[in-house]
Structures are given as structure tokens and as C-alpha cells.
Amino acid sequence: MAEKRVVEKEDLFKIQSVTNPQLSPNDKEAVFIKTKIDEQENKYFSEIFHLNVETDEVTQWTFGKERVSSPKWSPNGEQVAFISNRDEKNQVYIMNKSGGEAKKITNVESGINSFLWSPCGEKIWVTSSLKEGAAFTDKTEEKKQDNEKPTAYIVDKMRYKMDGLKGHGLRKQLVHSQIAILSLKDESIEQFSEGKYSHSLYDISPDAKKIIIGVNREEHEDYDFRQPLIMVDVETNEETVLVDHEGYYGGAKFSYDGSYIAYTGSDASYKNATHTNVYIYDIENGTTQNLTESIDSPVGDYAVADTQQGVNAPSIMWTETNDLYFQLSTSGDVQLYYASLEGAIYPASPEGEHVYDYAISKDGQFALVGVSNPTFPGELFISEIAKGERRQVTHFNDEWLTEVKLAKAEPVTYTSTNDWQVHGWLIKPANFEENKKYPLIVEIHGGPHTMYANSFFHELQLLAAKGYGVLYVNPRGSHGYSQEFVDGVRGDYGGGDYEDIMAGLDYVLREETWIDENRLGVTGGSYGGFMTNWIVGHTDRFKAAVTQRSISNWVSFFGVSDIGYYFTPWQIGTDMLDPEKLWDHSPLKYAKNIETPLLILHSELDFRCPIEQGEQLFITLKSKGKETSFVRFPDNDHNLSRTGTPNLRVQRLEQIVSWFEQYLV
């Protein structure tokens, strides 16, 4: 048997992402999406596959060079509809399970955002972003002519841009998401919603008489982050408000018998650090129950990683007996959980892994789950919940796994300041030898309200392959633990969170004799970039650092970030009325103390942490004669490391590795 090789940066092109499992109405078959990066085309392509649940036979159904998403079975189980960009703009296509070419059924000028089958099977509800006053049938958009003069963009709201949007992040003026009904009989389309508000479509009742939408009809949205959930009578347009609180609510789903609506959400008690819960609305009596109130962990998937593409896991799934399933992020795991309306709640998947996607059979007896762990990129499994048994049904990464040597992630738990318990992982170098000293790199996640998890992370494996130990922990501010823990960072950036990370470093240095304390590196992105900047401004223990898509100056961040004007007071506790406090929490203030060689990586179209944050830090350090370098990635946004242009993702990894190789010798 040939000796396995270590992980390489180009393995990004070999690892395949398996997501979006969708069980058919009879639960005997399923479809899902496989996504892979095409190195030659420098693009992401995805395909729909079919699974026979009884025989585990997997068959490819689509073959084009395209991105597909949102596969959904027709109510009779004879067809699958999906969204594809094969004709440039996203449109809905339908294919028969008996075979044949998929048929495009929408031709909306602005493309389709989402869709749902009507329970009758004769209609499909769709959403699209339309100009104010425009209709789904309009064909007025024209391509820009070469000699067309530019038009000024008039800004009258603070929420006028958003990271990830084309056109320099600017929101389209007077454009709103609207809902329409498409008849499959004659492909006619009837607009259902209108006005100057954006509408989300969540679900349709089993009798097709009601829908659940999300819409905020307030005139001034700069400080209004509500999206009320509303049940609408399709015939009369009568509305029943399910929830209208400040916070985030969505994922609404009717029970099979139409008696209840489940949805997930979090209020604004701790701003964006508030735990998400599952709520049950009783349609008959109009009461609402917080089903997960007793659990001090957030509902949903808060794990960060860099492999899975296009995951769109359901917020909640019902069974025919009115039981529910959902994901829960807890202590570094993302588990599938079961709940009954009577209040019984317990895990339906093992610890030590990341359930990143799932579908539940109607009777609740089995689930089709996407599962990953630190040495397993992710595949689909059929899990027989009551028996506690599962079997793997996709094997797209098997060949790659036979080629590479993956390093195990060993859990660590230690006590930080104020007796806070902190959890994380330590990876030894892939070719670890006893009685040998190795450098260690500390990785810090973004958010800060996300979490490292028992999930596969290519970047961490690459660093281990290059001969580094890797320590990655969940300091206070991370999700997956208590409400007190995730809220612990707000108003204290650079305080207890910094102490948690340094306490973790001290802990592994005491416990692991193989770590060379004179060859320590640190890196992180977004909040992790802020913390990297903060660390090197407050200690010289690290011999090299790489800061990515970082925050260096809260004063300028307030006005230049797409979220700066509200995220800053949420997290730091003040705004421009107290610039001194913003400056005190800004790593740029302490740049004069930085002696650690610092590499600054930033995307030019990052509007979450704009590139001026990296520019300020670089020029300041360079002007003081500090050891630094600045690498700019064109045409990419805040998500370069996860969904960015493939060749630039590889170049990013090259920059990180080469910087550490230069200084951690």
C-alpha cells in the first residue's frame, strides 16, 4: 500500500461538497447537490444527483457547467424543480424523474430568488427582485450600451450597501423582492405582492389556502431590523401576524396537518449575540410557545469551515405526528435534535461531528444527513434515528481520502480568567515525530458570534501538512455555549477574549512538550483579523502573524463598513459620540508597539471590513519601519476564503504558508 501524502493547497480542487438532501414524498428516493471547483474554468460547478433510499444507488441527473440550487420534489414525486444559472440569470427548471432534458419554466428578467411548489402540484410560487412598480412579466431591462453615460447613485439611507453585492456593494435603488404564482398549465404568472417593501416566502399551508411571508413595511429601516412573519389568506389577503418583535425570525414551516407553524428566531436582548430558539404557533388559538427556552445553546448551525458550498439546511422539519427536528450548535458540535410539542427534547445524532445539512422522513424514523468531522470532508448518510444506526450513501471523497494523511484534532478544555471554561482543539503536525520540536500557529475565527467545530477545515489541515501544530479555540463571544458566554465579548473586545486565547496558548505550552515556544504564529480573519492585530499590539510572543479581512480602526469602521453604524455600538458599546472609546478598542492605536512581522491580506471588494482597514494598518506600520507586507485580492468580497475566486483562494493559502515559512524557521 502506497504511503499517503500530506494535504496540499490544490486539494481545494479535489474535495467535493455534498449538500441539499431532499427526500421525495414517498421517502423512497432523494435528490441532492454535489459541488466541485473546476480548476481550468476557475469556477464552481454543481450537479443534481438522485439517491434510491432502499438500494443506496446514486445516479447523476444533471451534467451542465452551471450552478444549481434549491432542488424540490413535486407533490406527487414525479418531478424535481430547481434553480439554475445555465442561461446566466437564475431561473426555475423542472425535470421528470423518468428522464429527459430539464425544461425552463420561468423567464423573469431579474431572475428568480426562491420558489415553492403549491401542494396542488399545478402551481409554483416564486420570488424575484423587481424595480418599484415593475411586474414579473416586464422585459424592460436592457444591457448597458458602450456609450451610455454613468448615472449618479443617490444615497438617502445608511443601509445603502452590502458586502457581496455586485456593483461595488451598492444596493439597487427602488428594488424589492416580490412574490408571484406561476401556473404550470400555461406558464402564466400572476403577481401576488407589490409595493415598496421586500417580501420573503417561507411556506404554503397543506390546503394551499395560506402562505407565510416575511415583510417589514416600516418607512425607515436604518435602525429597524425586524422582519415580521405574517400568515396570509391567499383568497382574501387577510393577514395574521405571527411575530413582530425586534430581532431575527424566519424558517417558518406549517405542520403536515396545518394546525401549527414552527419558526426559528432570536429577539434583540443581546443584539446579534442572542440565542436562536424554536417557536410554535398554534393556529387555532393564536398562542405561541418557545419550545427550546430551557436549552442554553443556539438553534441552528454556527460552525465555520471552508469546504461545503451552497448549504441551505432547513431551519426546522416536521414529522406527520407533529414532532420536530432541527440543528443545535453545542460545545463545538452541530447536532440534529428531536423535539415534541409536549416538551421532550434530545439529540438525534452523535457528539463529535458537524451535521451540516439534513432531511427527515415523514414518519420521523430516519434522516438523510450531511456529516463532517475534522478528518472527513462530508458525505450523506442515512440515519435510522430510533436504532441509533447509520450508513454512508455517498462516496465522492473516498478516493481523495485514500490519498492523503489527515491530522487528528484533539479537544482541549482549560480555565481562563474569572474561571471561564474555554474549549478548543489542538492539531499536531501531519508527520509528527516524538522528541522533536515544532512551531505552533494559533487560528482565530471570525464573527465573533460563530464557532470552530468538529468539522473539516482544509486550511487547518494544510498548515498541519506544512509541519505546524495548530491551536484553534472558541473564546468568549463564540456561539455553542451559554448565553452569558456568547455575550461575554460585547463591550470588551481585546479584554476577556484576548485572555481566553492567550490562556489556551499557555495551557498547551504546559501540556505539550513538542511545541517550540520560540516559533509561534497567529492568524485569523474578520473578527479573527481584529484579534490578530490586537494580539501583536499587546505581546511580542509571536514571531509571525497574518491578519485577514481585519478591523484595525473602529472610528473609520463605523462609517465605511456596510454594517459599521449599528454593529459598532452593538459590539463596542458606543458610536461616534464617544470616539475615544472606539479608538481605545482599535488595534491601530497600538500599532507603534507591533514588533511581530505582520502580513496583511484583504479583498478589494470587501464591504464588511473594507480594505481601508488594511490600508491604514499597512501604511502606519510601514511608515514606522515595521516588518510588514500587504496583499490585495481583486474582485472578491469578505468571503474570499470560503467562496471566493478559486485561484485567489489558492494564492491566499500560498501567502499564509510562505509568510510563516519565512519567519517560523
> What are the tens digits of pLDDT across the range 185-243?
999 999 999 989 999 999 999 999 999 999 999 887 799 989 999 999 999 999 999 99
The pLDDT, as a whole number, for residue 174 is: 81
Question: What is the DSSP code string of 244-310?
Answer: --SEEEEEEEE-TTSSEEEEEEEESTTGGGSPPEEEEEETTTTEEEETTTT--S-BS--B--SS--S
Grid cell, residue 33, equals 447537490
2 or 540, which is more confident = 540
Tens digits of per-residue pLDDT, 396-428? 999 999 999 999 999 999 999 999 999 999 999
The pLDDT, as a whole number, for residue 308 is: 96
**Pair 533, 512: CB distance under 8 Å:** no
User: What pLDDT band is residue 123 in, cutting at 50, 70 and 90?
Assistant: very high
The pLDDT, as a whole number, for residue 1 is: 63
Question: Alpha-carbon torsion 634, 635, 636, 641, what sign?
Answer: negative
User: What pLDDT band is residue 166 in, cutting at 50, 70 and 90?
Assistant: confident
Measuring CA to CA, how many Å separate 648 from each of 41, 304, 617, 660? 13, 20, 22, 19
Write the DSSP symbol of residue 448. Answer: T
User: What pLDDT band is residue 173 in, cutting at 50, 70 and 90?
Assistant: confident
Tens digits of per-residue pLDDT, 525-536? 999 999 999 999
Average pLDDT over residues 552-566: 98
Catalytic residue among 69, 361, 638, 641: 638
Q: How much is the mean pLDDT over the chain?
A: 96
Q: CA 554, CA 614: separation in Å to the nearest integer? A: 12
| For residue 140, pLDDT beyond 90 | no
139 or 54, which is more confident = 54
Distance separating the N- and C-terminal Cα atoms of the chain: 33
Which of 39, 5, 37, 187 shows the shortest CA–CA distance to 108?
Answer: 187
Question: Alpha-carbon torsion 293, 294, 298, 299, what sign?
Answer: negative
Grid cell, residue 557, equals 469602521
Rg (CA), the chain: 25
With cell 458540535, the residue in question is 333
Q: What are phi and psi of 485, to 5 degrees?
A: -70, -45
The pLDDT, as a whole number, for residue 141 is: 53
To the nearest whole percent, how much of the chain has pLDDT over 90? 93
The pLDDT, as a whole number, for residue 147 is: 77
Tens digits of per-residue pLDDT, 590-619? 999 999 999 999 999 999 999 999 999 999
Q: CA 133, CA 197: separation in Å to the nearest integer? A: 11
Catalytic residue among 526, 550, 552, 586: 526
The pLDDT, as a whole number, for residue 432 is: 98
Grid cell, residue 264, equals 426559528
Tens digits of per-residue pLDDT, 274-329? 999 999 999 999 999 999 999 999 999 999 999 999 999 999 999 999 999 999 99
Helix (H) or strand (E) holding 104: strand 103-104
| For residue 143, pLDDT beyond 70 | no
To the nearest whole percent, how much of the chain has pLDDT over 70? 99
The pLDDT, as a whole number, for residue 135 is: 87
Q: CA 244, CA 250: separation in Å to the nearest integer? A: 11
User: What pLDDT band is residue 88 in, cutting at 50, 70 and 90?
Assistant: confident
**Pair 570, 596: CB distance under 8 Å:** no
Tens digits of per-residue pLDDT, 458-493? 999 999 999 999 999 999 999 999 999 999 999 999
Which of 599, 607, 597, 598 shows the shortest CA–CA distance to 640?
Answer: 607
Domains of the chain: 406-663 (3.40.50.1820)
State the maximum Cα–Cα separation within the chain, in Å, rounded to a whole number.
76
Grid cell, residue 540, equals 511580542
Global model pTM greater than 0.95: yes
The pLDDT, as a whole number, for residue 13 is: 97
Measuring CA to CA, how many Å separate 379 from each of 190, 233, 358? 40, 40, 11
User: What pLDDT band is residue 134 in, cutting at 50, 70 and 90?
Assistant: confident
Angle between the 646-663 and 458-465 helix axes, to the nearest 10 degrees?
40
**Pair 140, 196: CB distance under 8 Å:** no
Strand pairing category for 114-117 and 287-290: unpaired
Measuring CA to CA, how many Å separate 642 from each of 251, 326, 457, 599? 24, 24, 10, 19
Does the active-site annotation cover 193? Answer: no
User: What pLDDT band is residue 138 in, cutting at 50, 70 and 90?
Assistant: confident
Burial class (CB in 10 A: 0-12, 13-18, 19+), 426: buried
Does the active-site annotation cover 638? Answer: yes
The pLDDT, as a whole number, for residue 137 is: 84
Tens digits of per-residue pLDDT, 232-255? 999 999 999 999 999 999 999 999
| For residue 142, pLDDT beyond 80 | no
